Structure 1
Amino acid sequence: MKIISLQFLNFRQFYGKSPIIYFANGEKNTTIIHGNNGSGKTTI
């Protein structure tokens, strides 16, 4: 699976629609989701 973009709608601290986050589109297919413990990384 390759993540192209991400947008939140009423997710945790994001109320309403968040701006669309676009990921780099290159040859590598690795996506790293980084954040503090308890911030919702696993939920994404």
Structure 2
Amino acid sequence: MSNAIQINQPAPDFTLPDFEGKLVHLTDFRGKKNVILVFNRGFT
């Protein structure tokens, strides 16, 4: 698995829309305070 995320390595950049629809890149936060990512599992 060459694409696996490695421990102690920077997360790969990705882009998602914020609550207003503006695209936000993970790299926009590089060098700033920590970012906490939360992925909620949908009800199935």
With structure 2 as the length reference, what TM-score do the two structures score? Answer: 0.27
With structure 1 as the length reference, what TM-score do the two structures score? Answer: 0.27
Structure with more of its chain in strand, by fraction: 1
Greater CA radius of gyration, 1 or 2? 2
